[in-house]
Structure formats: structure tokens, C-alpha cells
Chains A and B, each alone.
Chain A
């Protein structure tokens, strides 16, 4: 993330990491999750599911901050995020 001034506690603050799960069979390819993910984690997959819809896929591994926005905007209960286990400690 770019800051015009580095916050004083930037070193101490741990940004939560998330892992996003996609339930491909439920997805109808609307693209809401892709367009509105604040971290631009997702992209449209060239692959399509059994119903013929292009599902999202992860474009940037490790960029998800587990904000759950994709989970709430998805009209099809087809995507959700969970907290990743922290790498250190």
C-alpha cells in the first residue's frame, strides 16, 4: 500500500491476510467480486463452470485482506474468505 506519509505505527500494525474460496458450481459470472474487491485480488478465469459461466480466480496470491466484501456482494453465495494462518509466529 502507498501512503503519502508513513503512519507512525505502520511497523506494528499487522494487516490481516485472507484466503478466498470460490464455489465454482454456484457462480453465475456476474463479475461483482472481481470489480469491487478493494485489493484487486481476483480476475475472470478463461475456464468456465458446468453452467457455462466464467468464474473468478485469484490473480494476486497473498493480496487478500479478508475483508469479506466479495462474500457479501456475491448474489450467489459462491465466494467467501477466511483468515489465513499468519506465516510468522
Chain B
């Protein structure tokens, strides 16, 4: 067996707090793959990592930023975007990446998400959507598919889920994509693009949570991956209102929105900062 001392060095080790690895994520949990994709994209995008920060709220996914060697912030539940917004406005030079879960960003944090998108704050938001609240034992989330079983919906979820890319698009996001953890290359490329764009970018990553969601819906990690493989339909530029996430019909993946709009900072500078010449 390989011992710690002569352990080979993984290419991402330079970006990771290796003393904290193995991480807390369960065997077959998809958060780790989404996290790796994010790190690979940060490395390959050429952004200055000394001026890059990762922010999260609370949840299993939200543990990601704490494993990076970058400046990172593990904030309070649902509030990753307000913290990230503050950092970006105080220091517009920073690349601010939010990496958090579906419950954190769209249930308790839903309002922060829509308003940051509406204002076009220059952030890259990566949401690991595992269809439930993993960390607290698999409760129903705003993303849980109809009729799925969770701890709080033992007879099946009576509610319809959010279509996250549509929500992001309708709120004003300038870059919107959805991939799964099986589509590692497309996912990494999308995060890379999002990092290079100015404006509010959103990437949804579908990922298995075998311990919370999987256990109650008879979905082992490899079943989830097979489902992604068999049911995915890649449709770049599809209108977000037309995309689906349905266990029978399929899952639409792709980059759906990629447009340019002035950011909050651009407009704020023009409208709210006093022109020094006018003060004289």
C-alpha cells in the first residue's frame, strides 16, 4: 500500500489543503467531482488565483471552499451570495466564485440568488444540485423531483421542483449552463467560460447524493451516473423554458445563455459616484 510519505502527488494537490483530505463526502457522492471540475477550471482559465476567492453557505456541497488553498469563506446558511456580493463590490479586482448546494442557494438563499442575478453582480455561481438537503439527512428541497421520496416526503413529493436555469435566466443571469458530474469535460469548460465572463454566471451541476436522496429512491451512485448517461440530451442554446429534468423523459444539458450586459459595478460607477470634475 502507498504510505503518506511516498504518496504520489495529484495534479490538483497544489490547490487543495491536502492535510484535510480525505474529505467528509460519502463514497460515491458527486460533490467531490463537481469540486474537482471547479479546481481544474480555475487552473486552466488562467485567472489570477491570488485574486480569487471561493464562498459557500452551509451544507455538504458548501464544504468545498474549505478544502481549497485559496482564500475561502464558509459563511452562514443561505447567505453565500450576500457575502460574495460584498466582497466583489468592496474589491472589484477579485474573482469571486460561489460553490454551494441547491438547498443553500435556492431554498433559504433563493431571494439572494434572484436579486444578485437581476443586478448582474459579477459572480460565478456553481450549484451542486443533488435534489435534496444532503447534510441534514435527506429532506425535501425546492429541487426535489415530484413524487420522489425524502425524509420529509415519505409518500412522495407533492410539489413540483424549480427549473434552476430558467430561474437564473428569468432573473437576469448572463451565463447559464447545466451539466452532470459525468460530463466532466463540458462541465469544466463551462466553469472556465463562466470565470472568464463578466456578469452573473450560473452553472447547475447534477450530482448523486447516495446517502440522502439515493437511499430513499433506490438510486446507487452508479445508477445515477447511468441515468445521466442514458437520459442526457445536450442542446446548447436551448431556451431555458424548454429544457427538462425528468427521470422518464430525459435531462437537457448545455450552455443555454451566454450574453453580455453591463454589470452592477459598471452602472453604479456611472450613476452613483460623483464626478470629481463636477465637485470643483
Q: In the complex, which residues 1-60 of chain B have their Cβ closer than 8 Å to any Cβ of chain A? A: 1-2, 4, 7-8, 10-13, 16, 21-23, 25-33, 35-37, 40
* Chain A: number of interface residues, binned into ranges: 20 to 34
Q: In the complex, which residues 53-73 of chain A have their Cβ closer than 8 Å to any Cβ of chain B? A: 53, 69, 71-73
Contact residues in B for A71 (Cβ distance below 8 Å): 10-11
A–B Cβ pairs within 8 angstroms, 6 of them: A30-B222, A32-B33, A75-B25, A75-B28, A75-B32, A77-B12
- Bound-state CA distance A31–B10 (Å) is 18
6 residue pairs, one from A and one from B, having the closest CB atoms: A75-B32, A72-B184, A28-B27, A30-B28, A21-B8, A75-B33
Is the C-beta of B185 less than 8 angstroms from some C-beta in chain A?
Answer: yes
Q: How many A-B residue pairs have CB under 8 A?
A: 83
A interface list, Cβ under 8 A from B = 21-26, 28-32, 35-36, 47, 49-51, 53, 69, 71-78, 80
Contact B225 A50 (CB under 8 A): no
Contact residues in A for B184 (Cβ distance below 8 Å): 69, 72-73
Contact A30 B12 (CB under 8 A): no
Contact B8 A72 (CB under 8 A): no
Contact B10 A23 (CB under 8 A): yes
Contact B11 A80 (CB under 8 A): yes
Choose one: A22, A28, A75; the contact of B30 (CB below 8 Å): A75
Is the C-beta of B150 less than 8 angstroms from some C-beta in chain A?
Answer: no
